[in-house]
Structure 1
Amino acid sequence: MAGLAGVGAAPPGAPGPGPAVRPLGEVVPVPASVRPSGAPYTITARTRIHVDHGAPEVRRIGAYLASLLRPATGYALPVTDDGGKGGIRLRLSHREKALGPEGYRLRSGRLGVTITARAPAGLFHGVQTLRQQLPAAVERDSRQAGPWTVAGGTITDVPRYGYRGAMLDVSRHFFTVAQVKRWIDQLALYKINKLHLHLSDDQGWRIAIDSWPRLAAYGGSTQVGGGPGGHYTKAQYREIVSYAASRHLEVVPEIDMPGHTNAALASYAELNCDGVAPPLYTGTAVGFSSLCVDKPVTYDFVEDVIRELAALTPGRYLHIGGDEAHSTSHADYVAFMDRVQPVVAKYGKTVVGWHQLTGADPAKGALAQYWGLDRTGDAEKAKVAAAARNGTGLILSPADRLYLDMKYSEKTEPGLSWAGYVEVRRSYDWDPAAYLPGVPASAVAGVEAPLWTETVSTGAHIDRMAFPRLLSAAELGWSPAASHGWEAYRERLAAQGPRLAALGIDFHRSPQVPWRTE
C-alpha cells in the first residue's frame, strides 16, 4: 500500500486535480493508503446518496451525510436505496475482512464516490474523510458558492489503534448536554471513537444515582470557584450516550476513587472514617480526600454506583480512577482495588484505571491509562511496563504530550503548566508504541487526550485548549507509524484551519503551523 509519500501526488501522466481541488488524502488523520488517479467528482444538484437496501444503519449514515452537506451546497441530496448509478454510494460488504470493524475504502472518479466498509463505523469514518476532501466552506450553515469537488483516486484506510479517546472533565467545571454534544461532533470529525467523561471529583458529582440521591443533588451543587455546578439526570446521560453512539463513539464513564472523592464524602457523612462530612470543595488542590477503605458501607456505595452506571452505559468500559490517592495508604489502596475491580466485572464491564492501578493488582483484561511525564521516574515507569508485560493494556495520555489543559506557552490563557508547556509539535512528535521503555508494542491499546477543566469553564475555552492539539492525538491513534512526520503533518494541519474556522471553533493559532486561509 502507498503510504504518506503518495498523499496529494498524482501518478506520472495522470491529470492533476486542479488548483481548486484538495489533493486526495490531505486530511487528518492521514489515511493508511492513498492512490490518486483519474478525474475528480463534483457534487451537483443532481447528486443522490445511495445506500444499501434494507440496511437501516447505512441509511442513518447517509442521512447524516446529507445533513452535513445540504446547508452549504443548497442541494437536496436525497438518500435513496433505489440502486441507481453515480452520485455518492455507501455500501457494506462483509467480505472486506481486511477493513476490520472501523476501516473503509473511498473511491472517487468522474461518475461518483463510493465508500465501502465491513461495518457501519467504517462507513461513518469514511464519511469524515469525504467531508474533509471537500472545501472547508462545506462546514458552514448557509449556502456557499462551491464547487464541491473530490479529487479522483482510492483511499484505503484502517486505524492503527482500536482505542482513540478524548476526555472531558465535567467535574471541575460542569458542561451542559448541548456542550457535550458539540464536543462529540468535533471528536467524530477526526475519527475519535471513545468519549471518556470524568463524572466525579472533589469539586462535583455529575451523575444522578438513585440509591444515593445526595451525590448529585448536593455533591453536584458547586464547582471550581464556587459556581452553580450541575449534574446529568439519568435521561440526560442516556441522551449523551445515544448521541455519541450515533457518531460511533463509545462513552467511557469515570467515577474516581478512592481519592478525588470529596463531593461524595460531603454528601454522605457515613462514607468518612470519622463519620463527619467535610464541606463542599471549590479549590483545585488534589490528594486530600479518600473513601474509608475499612467501612463496609464504602463497598455498598461503590456497588450501587457501579451497578446504576453500568446499567446506563452500553459500552465495554468503566473507569474507576485510582490516581493521586495520597490520603490512602498503599495497603489500603491495594485492598480497595481488590474489592472494587470484581464489582466492575460483575456488572459486565472492563476496568479502566489511571496508571497507579498498576501499583495494585490490575484485573485480567484491565486497561491502565498512563498520564506520567517524560521526566517521570524510572521506577514508576518500570511498574507500568511490568504490568503491561503481564497482560495489562495501556492507554497513553502522557501529560506533557496530550493533556489538553496544559498551556501552549507562558502567554496563553487559560491553562495550567505543571507538566510544562505543550505546543503543537510536542503533542504530535512522539510514537505511542515506543514511548514507555520495556512495554511491548502489542500492549498499547491506544491513546487519549484528556481535557481537565480547573481553568476551563466555557465552550470557547474548550475550543482554544483542544484545537489543534486534539488532531495530534487523532492522528497518533489512527494513522500508521510510518506516516508520522512533523513537516508533512504541519502542512495538513494548516489546511484544517479554514475548516475549524468554518465550524466556529476558535482554535489556537500556533506559530509552529503555517495556517492557510480559504
Structure 2
Amino acid sequence: MAVGAFTVGATTVTKATPTATPLGRVVPAPASVTPGKTPYRITHDTAIQVDGSREARRIGEYLAGILRPSTGYRLPLSTHAGHGIQLRLTKGSFGAEGYRLDSGPSGVTLTAAHAAGLFHGVQTLRQLLPAAVEKNSVQRGPWQIAGGTIEDSPRYAYRGAMLDVSRHFFTVAQVKRYIDELALYKINELHLHLSDDQGWRIAIDSWPRLATYGGSTEVGGGAGGYYTKADYQEIVRYASSRYLEVVPEIDMPGHTNAALASYADLNCDGVAPSLYTGTDVGFSSLCVGKDLTYDFVDDVVRELAALTPGRYLHIGGDEAHSTSHEDYVKFMDRVQPIVTKYGKTVIAWHQITGAHPVKGALAQYWGLDDTDAAEKAQVAAAAKNGTGLILSPADRVYLDMKYTEDTPLGQDWAGLVEVKRSYDWDPGNYLAGVPTSAIRGVEAPLWSETIVTGANIDYMAFPRLPGVAELGWSPASTHDWDTYKVRLAAQAPRWDALGIDYYRSPQVPWPAS
C-alpha cells in the first residue's frame, strides 16, 4: 500500500491507497520482467484499441467482457490509436504463444505474433488488476496496472489438464467453467476421458447404444449421461475461443466395460456383461482376435476425428490387465494406424512404450517417483527412439489424490499430494535417461471416482492446478517454492471473486480473510 497525507483543518490525515500488483507477481511466472516507475490506470475514458484482424477484435471483446461489469466503464472497442489498452498482432520473435506487455502512464500495449499469444497476454493483464475485476457487479477501483515490460513465452508447447467425465458425468456448462479456469493459467490442452468401464460419454452414430445404454449410469449408480455430437462440438468451440485444444480419449483395449455391455458381439464369448458402477480397474478387454473389434474402433475413431479439429486422439492403453502382452501389442499395432489414417496424432498412456509406438506418437507417463526402474527404462528407451512424452506423474500432478489423510474427496493410492509436492519437481529432469527434447509438456489429470460436482472439481484442482501450469509455462530458472507460494497465495482473492472453492493448504501463506 502507498500512503498519502492531506490536511483537514489543522489535522493531518493519513490515507492508504492501493498500489498496483508488481509485474512479476502472476502465475505462471513470466519469462522476463522489467519493472517501470509509473502505472497505467483504467478510467471511464479508457478504450480498447484493436488492429483490423478478426482475432484481435474477438480477444478485445473477451477482455471488455471481463472488465466492463466490475469497472462500470464503457471500454469501447476502437481501431483508432490513442490512450488505453492496445491489442496488436504483428510479426516478431514471440513464437506461437508468446507475447509482450508494455505498461506506462499513457496505456498498456499487448503485442503477439499469433492470437494465442495475445490471449495469454490478456490473462496476465487480468492478474495485474485487483481481484475484484473478476466480479459481475460494479466494484470500487482504482484499476491500476503496474508500469514496465513483460516478455513471455512458454517452456513447453503442451500444457494440459484432463477431466474424467466417464466415472462421473459432467455437463457442458460444467466443462465450460473448467475451461475458463484453465485458460486463466495458460493451459492449452483439454484432455477429455470420454469412455471407461463406468460410462461411454460421446454419441457415435454407427454404434448408438454406446451412448444411450453405455452412458446410462456412472460410479455409484447415478443417471450418467453423454454428449450429443452438438454438445461435443460446443465444448470444442468454447475451448477454441479460449485457445485450448480438445484431446478426446477413447480408452482401450481395457477400461471398456461400458462398450462391452452395450454390444455383446464385442465380447469374445458373445455375452454382454452388466453395466458397471464400481471403481475397480483392469477387468475388461475388447476381443483382440475379432475383426469386428477393429471395425468398431475404425467407426469410433472416424466419427470422433471428424468432430475434433485438434491434432490429437488419445487411445488410452493403460491397466489392460485382462489382455495378454502379446494381444496388447497386436491391438496397438492395428489401432494406431487407424488413428493416423484419420489425420490424428496418437497419444496413449505410457504402457504403449511396451508395444510399438508409431512415428510421432506421444506417450503420457503416469508412473510414480518410485515406479519400477525397468518400466522407467522402457519409457526412456522409447523417448530416445523418437516417442515424445507428456509427464503426468500420479504422485505429483494427479489432481484426484488427497491433499492429506483428512481430505474428504479423492484417493490416496499414489500417495498424499500436498501443494508443495505437486509443484516442487522439474519436468526437464524427472525421468532419468530421457532426452530433454523428448519432453513435450505436462498434464494434470483429474479422475472422477469421488468427484461429483463442479465444486468438487474446483476443490481438488485449486490450488494445485496453477502450479502444474507454471511447470509447463515458466522457465526452469523461475521455479522456486518459497517465492511461488507467495504468488500463489495472492491468487486467493481472485478465486473468491470467481466463486472457486479451494483447499486452504497450511503450506501457503494465504491472506487474512
Q: What is the distance in 2 between the residues matched to 1:517 and 1:85?
A: 40
Q: Give, as a single letter, the amino acid of the residue that structure 1 aligns with 2:349.
A: W
Query: 1:86 Cα deviation (Å)?
Result: 1.2
Select which of 49, 68, 71 maps to 1:70. Answer: 68
Conservation of the 8 A alpha-carbon contact between 1:222 and 1:230? yes
Equivalent residue for 1:11? none
1:25 CA displacement: 1.8
Q: Which residue of 1 aligns with 2:157?
A: 162
3-state secondary structure, aligned to 2:389: strand
Q: How does 1:33-432 map to 2 (within 5 A)?
A: 33-53=32-52, 55-81=53-79, 83-94=80-91, 96=92, 98-432=93-427
Cα distance between partner residues in 2 of 1:84 and 1:271? 63
SS of equivalent to 1:461: helix
Q: Give 2:194's aligned amino acid.
A: L
- Percent identical pairs in the alignment equals 74
Looking at structure 2, the residues matched to 186 and 356 of structure 1 have their Cα atoms a distance apart, in angstroms, of 30
Opposite residue 342 of structure 1, the aligned amino acid is P
Map Cα deviations across residues 66-122 of structure 1 (whole Å, 9 max, x no partner).
0011111011111111x221100000112x1x2100000000000000000000000
d(CA) in 2 for partners of 1:228, 1:352: 30
Q: Partners of 2:103 and 2:462 in 1: how far apart? A: 29
Q: Is the Cα–Cα contact under 8 Å of residues 497 and 517 in structure 1 kept in the other structure?
A: no
3-state SS, counterpart of residue 182 of structure 1 = helix
Residues 110-164 of structure 1: CA deviation (Å, up to 9, x unaligned): 0000000000000000000000000001011111001100000000000000000
CA RMSD of aligned residues (A): 0.9
Amino acid at match of 1:63: E
DSSP 3-state at the match of 1:489: helix
Counterparts of 2:33 and 2:512 in 1: how far apart (Å)?
Answer: 25
Which stretches in structure 1 are left out of the alignment for 5+ residues?
A: 1-17
CA distance in 1, matches of 2:240, 2:282: 34
SS in 1 for 2:247: strand
How far apart in 1 are the matches of 2:21 and 2:54?
Answer: 31
Matches of 1:74 and 1:378, distance apart in 2: 58
Q: Secondary structure at the match of 1:99?
A: coil
Q: Structure 1, residues 348-388: CA drift from partner, whole Å, max 9, x if none? A: 00000000000000010000000000110000000000000
Residue 37 of structure 1, CA deviation: 1.1
Q: Corresponding residue for 2:28?
A: 29
- Which of residues 474, 492, 495 in structure 2 aligns to 1:497? 492
What's the offset of the Cα at 1:38? 2.5
Q: CA deviation at 1:195?
A: 0.2
TM-score (norm 2): 0.96
**CA deviation vs aligned residue, 1:466-491 (integer Å, no higher than 9, x gap):** 00100111000000001100000000
For residues 271 and 130 of structure 2, what CA distance do their matches in structure 1 show? 60
SS of residue in 2 equivalent to 1:66: helix
- TM-score norm. by structure 1 comes to 0.95
Q: Give the Cα–Cα distance (whole angstroms) in 2 for the partners of residues 138 and 517 of structure 1.
A: 19
In structure 1, give the amino acid aligned to 2:316: G
Structure 1 position 19, deviation (Å): 4.7
Runs of at least 4 residues of structure 1 off by over 6 A?
Answer: none
Q: Number of residues paired by the alignment? A: 498
For 1:5-24, what aligned pairs fall within 5 Å after superposition?
19-24=18-23
